Chain A
Amino acid sequence: MSRIKVKIKEKDLNTIKEICKSFNNEQGELINVLHKTQEHFGYLPAEIQEVIAKELEMSVAKVYGVVTFYSFFTMKPKGRFPISICTGTACYVRGAENVLGEFKRQLNIEVGETTSDGKFSLSCLRCVGACGLAPVVQVGDKTYGRVSPEGVKDILAEYNDK
């Protein structure tokens, strides 16, 4: 039996309501609503999904199903500098796995997690269309090519004082 109460700030509640309204509260627009909401909040925690479900008059289980199906959506806040490692075929065969391992080791986090200071988060993506530069890493908007495990330290160092 449901007995969970969802708590949310009034300002955030109104923001989500506005986003849903801009898509006419249509269930078919769920993915667009999630995109816009994540754009605003940076991530999609449970309470935000509860509100979206209520606004679109659908079950929160379905919303959660969609959020966890698409790797773009995240339920954890991303770091100020989100790191994405391409594990598409080209990058993978050229050693992306080792690069990823090195990022995990240096930052002491797993894929999908954020460092405790909120600076970096780690995720994998599939092919950015720059296979000639494999393996490819993106930090925020910046793209790094031909990254080796040894180069990971240098990339992170660029963000030392930021």
Chain B
Amino acid sequence: MEKVKLTIDNKLVEVEKGTTIYKAARQLGIDIPVLCYMNLEGLGIENKPGGCRICVVEVEGRRNLAPSCSTDCTEGMVVNTHSMRVINARRTVMEFILSDHPKDCLTCSKSGNCDLQNMAIKLGIREIPGQEYAAMSTYKMDFSPSLIRDLDKCIMCRRCEMMCNDFQTVGALSAFKRGFEAAVGPAFEMDIEDSTCTYCGQCVAVCPTGALTEKDHTREVINALSDPTKTVIVQTAPAVRAALGEEFGLEPGTLVTGKMVAALRRLGFNYVFDTDFAADLTIMEEGTELLGRLTKHLSGDKEVKLPILTSCCPAWVNFFENNFPEMKDIPSTARSPQQMFGSIAKTYFADKIKVKREDLIVISIMPCLAKKYEAQRDEFKVNGNPDVDFSLSTRELAHLIKQANLDLKSLPDEDFDKPLGESTGAAVIFGVTGGVIEAAVRTAYELHTGKKLARIEFEQLRGMEAIRKATIDFNGTPINIGIAHGLGNARKLLEDIKAGKSEFHAIEIMSCPGGCIGGGGQPLHHSDSSILTARTKAIYAEDEGKTIRKSHENPYIIKLYEEFLGKPMSEKAHHLLHTHYFDRSRKIEIS
């Protein structure tokens, strides 16, 4: 690889040809401020439209300042990242951006967590000259079940567009128009609800301002908790415990399972349960379905649909309903853990505590925004009453805890309630890419072979590579497993299936980078992918710390089948724990 030598702020550095000034500066420990630029290292996710010009630097011999995020280093280049000219230019750029940005920071949901606000602080902006001449562009607010778009706050960094198109290949968002009228949104400026949006929330996860935020349901939860006639229970998804601490200043990767339970109990939830319980239940149903299809396939049945695809991720479900409706009989029919939990809570558990369905409120805490949409799907309602009443993101839970003046860090570690709070290590790893399929393999292997696994960690299923393949030996039968995170990567595997080229028996798909730990409802990573790695480690650590690490060994799951469901895939299980999918593709019809 050809190298070039250059000087940045009087320091000599040698980099590979093709390296940008921004990256070369980082090698020297110089952090040039960036706004539109975003790089999730190790995940192949980079946004460098060179649009905002905050990152300009002075290059000797060049007339104009150069955007460091998108200018390559050349031999002998002399760069100054903080000359007075640079500082002035950055301030001017910032003032221009702010001249067309609302000033309602006090009540903005991103306040205190906003890249634009942080940049204004960093650059010491105290006034916005010429504001009386500036046009203030305004747009219609767009509300959907999962996310809210307030384009008045859009600064055209186009990070959301990159995530939606390049990473997810969803194509719901694009930049449109130009000048003051320019913003990012769906075709014809239709509501996001009418677009091909999957509600994965990755646009929200990377938005540097309050232009894209979750639909906040904390008010509804407070109202439910204040109603003495209601029994309010809560379930928490695996990925939440590995990230919630970040909102309270703890190091990324700090597990706060016990403290989270304590906080929820103090918020007034009558029972604090765990979505992990339902994840174990998912493995029982999905694993049995996988084995059923496999057995048929191995005995020569040509009709059986393989590979089986996981169905836990609601954005992924939306994605294939939108784009691959002809394949809607391939994914597992198992509902997601959130919905399995809701269904069991409002039948089995409601009966146990003798509370009527309509008096039981089920709240879920999810790392995800698509879960909000999933919770209000018609097929998950009984007489109009949803199995899961409201879904909060990890961020919303943090807001609730702060509002209640609870100091998460100093709370004691407490345990989940029984019976829907008991879970295994297999359930915890649902929170990371590869985890669901590893959990399924742990159970399917033992049920299929009748043997105990000597080692239950399947390292070959782990990691951050976009698409992973592994072959697991099921007692002489090789089972090919595929894993993808990110819908663009999922699309590749789906195209292979469509073309009849797929070699897999089972495929796990998660929409978000790294799986649920990188979900659209998680604390903002502010473009630092090491946070995702830290969360992943935390999830595997939680698994290792569990006494029971295989779903079929969860005593409360065994009891649930004995007392209520019969056996996996029974008629009752089918009714309560499985679902069906719809064709939601855009249709062009002849009029």
Residues of A within 8 A of B (CB): 1-10, 13, 46-47, 49-51, 53-54, 58-65, 68-69
Which chain B residues border A5 with CB–CB below 8 Å? Answer: 586-589
Cα distance A3–B195 in the bound complex, in angstroms: 8
* Complex-state Cα separation, A58 to B165, whole angstroms: 10
Q: Check A8 against B590 for contact (C-beta < 8 Å).
A: yes
Chain A residues contacting B373 (CB-CB under 8 Å) are 1
Asked if B235 is at the interface of the complex by the 8 Å CB criterion, the answer is no
**Docked pose: A68 CA to B321 CA in angstroms:** 29
Distance, CA A60 to CA B585, complexed state (A): 13
Contact B187 A63 (CB under 8 A): yes
B270 proximal to A (CB < 8 A): no
Contact present for B195 and A13 (CB under 8 Å):
no
Task: Decide if A65 touches B176 in the complex (CB within 8 Å).
Answer: yes
In the bound complex, how far is the Cα of B165 from the Cα of A7, in angstroms?
26
Contact A64 B171, beta carbon cutoff 8 Å: no
- CA gap between A58 and B188 in the complex, in Å: 15
Among B170, B177, B585, B588, which residue has its beta carbon within 8 angstroms of that of A8?
B588
Known: A7-B591, A8-B590, A49-B187. A2 touches B584 (CB 8 A): yes
6 more contacts with CB within 8 A, not counting A1-B373, A5-B587, A10-B590, are A1-B321, A6-B589, A59-B171, A61-B195, A64-B174, A69-B177
Among residues of A, the one whose C-beta sits closest to the C-beta of B178 is: A69
Q: Is the CB of B178 within 8 A of A59?
A: no
**B263: Cβ under 8 A from any A Cβ:** no
List 23 contacting pairs A-B, 8 Å CB cutoff, sorted by A: A1-B197, A1-B322, A1-B373, A1-B584, A2-B196, A2-B585, A4-B194, A5-B586, A5-B588, A8-B590, A10-B590, A50-B187, A50-B586, A50-B588, A51-B588, A59-B171, A59-B174, A60-B171, A61-B172, A61-B176, A61-B185, A69-B175, A69-B176
Find out whether the CB atom of A3 lies under 8 angstroms from the CB atom of B194: yes
Q: Which residues of chain B from 181 to 195 have a CB within 8 Å of any chain A CB?
A: 185-188, 190, 193-195
Tell me which residues across on chain B come within 8 A of A59, comparing CB atoms. 165, 170-172, 174, 187, 196
Q: Which residue of A lies closest to B318 (CB)?
A: A1
CA distance A27 to B394 in the complex (A): 39
Contact residue among B174, B195, B590 (Cβ-Cβ distance under 8 Å from A2): B195
Residues of B within 8 A of A1 (CB): 193-194, 197, 318, 321-322, 373, 584
**A-B interface, 4 closest residue pairs, ranked by CB to CB distance from nearest:** A59-B171, A61-B174, A65-B174, A7-B591
Distance of A10 from chain B, by nearest CB (Å): 5
B212 contacts partner chain A, Cβ-Cβ < 8 Å: no
Knowing A2-B195, A2-B584, A61-B187, the reply to whether A7 touches B589 (Cβ < 8 A) is yes
B586 and chain A: residue at smallest CB distance = A2
Task: Determine the chain B residues whose CB is within 8 A of the CB of A51 once the complex forms.
Answer: 588
Contact partners of A3 in chain B: CB under 8 A: 194, 584
- A49 and B190 alpha carbons, distance in the complex (Å): 14
B586 touches A4 (CB 8 A): yes
**Residues of chain B lying within 8 A (CB to CB) of residue A53:** 187
Contact partners of B170 in chain A: CB under 8 A: 59
- Asked whether B163 is an interface residue with its Cβ less than 8 Å from the other chain, the reply is no
Chain B residues contacting A13 (CB-CB under 8 Å) are 588, 590
Q: Which residues of B in the span 365-400 have a Cβ within 8 Å of any Cβ on A?
A: 373
State the CA gap A65–B584 with chains docked (Å).
Answer: 23
B585 CB to closest chain A CB (Å) equals 7
B173 interfacial by beta-carbon distance below 8 Å: yes
Inter-chain CA distance A103–B12, complex, in Å, is 63
Nearest Cβ on chain B to A15's Cβ, whole angstroms: 13
Give the distance in Å from the alpha carbon of A62 to the alpha carbon of B162 in the complex: 12
Report which residue of A47, A54, A64 has the largest number of chain B beta carbons within 10 angstroms of its beta carbon. Answer: A64
Q: How far is the CA of A82 from the CA of B8 in the complex (A)?
A: 55
Interface string of B54-92 (1 = CB under 8 A from A): 000000000000000000000000000000000000000
Q: What string of 1s and 0s marks CB contacts (under 8 Å) between B178-220 and chain A?
A: 1000000111101001111100000000000000000000000
Q: How far is the CA of A47 from the CA of B196 in the complex (A)?
A: 16
- Chain B stretch 130-176: residues in CB contact (< 8 A) with chain A: 165, 170-176
Find chain B residues with CB under 8 A from A61 CB: 171-174, 176, 185-187, 195
A151 to chain B, nearest CB (A): 30
Q: Which of B178, B188, B195, B322 has the most A CB atoms < 10 Å from its CB?
A: B188
In this complex, what residue of A is CB-closest to B171? A59
- Contacting pair A46 B587 (CB below 8 A): no
Of chain B, the residue at the smallest CB distance from A3 is B584
A60 touches B590 (CB 8 A): no
A4 to B172, CA, bound (A): 13
Query: A6 touching B587 by the CB < 8 A rule?
Result: yes
Closest residue on chain B to residue A5 by CB atoms = B587
Closest approach, in angstroms, between the C-beta of A112 and any C-beta of chain B? 12
* CA of A54 to CA of B584, assembled, Å: 15
The residue on A at minimum CB distance from B185 is A61
Residues of the A chain whose Cβ atoms lie less than 8 Å from the Cβ of B588: 5-6, 8, 13, 47, 50-51, 54
Q: Output the nearest chain A residue to B373 by Cβ-Cβ distance.
A: A1
Q: Are B176 and A68 in contact (CB under 8 A)?
A: yes
Interface centre among B174, B322, B585 (most CB of A within 10 A): B174
Query: CB distance B178 to A2 under 8 Å?
Result: no
Contact (Cβ within 8 A) A64 B590: no
How far is the CB of A45 from the nearest CB of chain B, in Å?
A: 10
Q: Contact: A62 with B171, CB < 8 Å? A: yes
User: Chain A's nearest CB lies how many Å from the CB of B340?
Assistant: 22
Tell me, in angstroms, the Cα distance from A10 to B395 when the chains sit together. Answer: 50
Nearest A residue to B195, CB-CB: A2
**Alpha-carbon distance A51/B587, docked complex (angstroms):** 10
Would A46 and B187 count as touching, CB distance under 8 A?
yes
Contacts of B318 in A (CB 8 A): 1
By a CB distance below 8 angstroms, the chain A residues around B193 are 1
Using CB atoms, name the residue of chain B closest to A64.
B187
Residues on the A chain within 8 Å of B178, using CB: 68-69
